[in-house]
A and B are shown apart, each in its own frame.
Chain A
Amino acid sequence: MDNLSYLLEFIAVGTIATFATRVIPFAFFSRHSEHPLIQHLGRFLPAAVMSLLVVIFLLRSGNWSAPVLGLDALVPSLVVVGLHLWRRNALLSIIAGTACYMAIQQSGLG
């Protein structure tokens, strides 16, 4: 077994580093929460972050070489978009899209 005290120190340092990235805005900017620039970010940043997460994770989920060309990820994504625009039931859209993706990956089509 490796050194347990190293593991505990490691976890302590990792915890501080991760928490620091989350708490710094609240520690240094909380007085400015009414500032119009902060309000602007609060209004628009979530949408921008959501769409960039979609693009990055989608690219990582697909096989982009021929002959698949990313269809293994794009088809399930279109299922999600289509179902969600139609029924607007988040759970349904997510379960159907995930099932579609799993079926494609497990059948070896991806």
Chain B
Amino acid sequence: MIDRSVFKLTLPILFGYIPLGMAFGVLFVTQLDYPWWGATLMSLAIYAGAGQILAVSLLAVHASLLEVFVALFVLNARHLFYGLSLLGRFRGAGWRKGYLIFGLTDETYSLLTSRHRTDDTEAEQRRDSLITLYNQSYWVIGSTLGAWLGRAVNFDSTGIEFALVALFIVLTIEQYKVLGQMLPIWIGAAAAGLSLAILPSDQQLIGAVVLATLSLLAHYRFHRPSVSAGSQEHSHG
């Protein structure tokens, strides 16, 4: 089931996920005394980049299962907010919905919310699931390769993970072109700046997402009168 347009759309994720997945795989087999397929299984079942790298250090110290739950839940808590903005988009996706929700990483969220869509909801949801599936395959392949090669990895791919930063830049520009306004972009940048300044590095991402969401809630309160006036006009007209 090769869909060329989906493959092309997910190429930047391929460039990001293969080396990052390999980094995770190498870490897994060099830091821990478990078989290689543990890395593959984690990428199939957990599927969270930063979460899995944290998991390696938790496995190394034999953390309790309660600690594991709390640590991974807190680290991934930003996903709570991603879902809020996709409620309508995944509605009625049937059996695909479970997988769409399961596969909602930062990168997949970025692609799904930025890409051009037609009015054919079912076809678009099918493409959303394919995008999610392709992305996860890259991650699983990368981590498995890393776990196989282990310490033997010596090709110089230093810096290739910048593909993800470049992807986020491109998607920010695309978001701007869709919305026609800079305000949400400034809100996100300011939220990131503030959380970088005041929070330790493991809490910066979730801190920034919470700050941005709160700012958008405040933005909503200020703009609500005009929005409801607009929709009333619409229903009368």
Write the residues of chain A forming the contact surface with B, with a CB cutoff of 8 angstroms. 1-2, 4, 6-7, 9-26, 29-30, 32-34, 36-59, 61, 73, 76-77, 80-81, 84-85, 90-91, 93-95, 97-98, 101-102, 104-106
Contact = CB atoms under 8 A, between A and B. Distances in A.
B203 to A, nearest CB: 11
B85 A45 contact: yes
Interface in B149-201: 156-160, 162-176, 179, 183-189, 191-193, 195-196
Interface stretch (B117-125, B136-144, B212-220): B212-220
Given A18-B51, A21-B77, A32 B162 contact: no
A16 B48 CA distance: 12
Contacts, number: 286
Interface residues of B, number: 101
A101 B162 contact: yes
Contacts of A51: 172, 175, 184-189, 192
B65 interface: yes
Contact of A45 (B52, B160, B204, B213): B213
SS class, residues of chain B in contact with chain A: helix
B165 A17 contact: no
B16 to A, nearest CB: 9
Given A7-B34, A32-B87, A94-B12, 16 more contacts: A1-B33, A7-B38, A11-B45, A21-B79, A26-B90, A33-B88, A36-B227, A38-B85, A40-B219, A50-B113, A51-B192, A55-B189, A55-B208, A80-B170, A81-B169, A101-B162
B175 A50 contact: yes
Given A16-B69, A42-B88, A23 B101 contact: yes
B34 A2 contact: yes
A18 B49 CA distance: 11
B82 interface: yes
Contacts of A16: 69
B192 A56 contact: yes
Interface of B: 8, 11-12, 15, 32-35, 38, 41-42, 45-48, 51-52, 55, 58-59, 62, 65, 68-73, 76-91, 97, 101-102, 104, 106, 109-110, 113-114, 156-160, 162-176, 179, 183-189, 191-193, 195-196, 204-205, 208-209, 212-213, 215-217, 219-220, 223-224, 227-228
A53 B106 contact: yes
A43 B88 CA distance: 11
Nearest to A53: B168
Given A101-B162, A102-B159, A26 B101 contact: yes
Given A14-B46, A98-B15, A25 B84 contact: yes
Nearest to B52: A14
A81 B173 contact: yes
A26 B87 contact: yes
A106 B84 contact: no
15 contacts: A1-B35, A11-B41, A20-B73, A22-B101, A26-B97, A38-B85, A41-B85, A47-B172, A47-B179, A48-B184, A51-B192, A98-B15, A101-B165, A101-B166, A102-B159
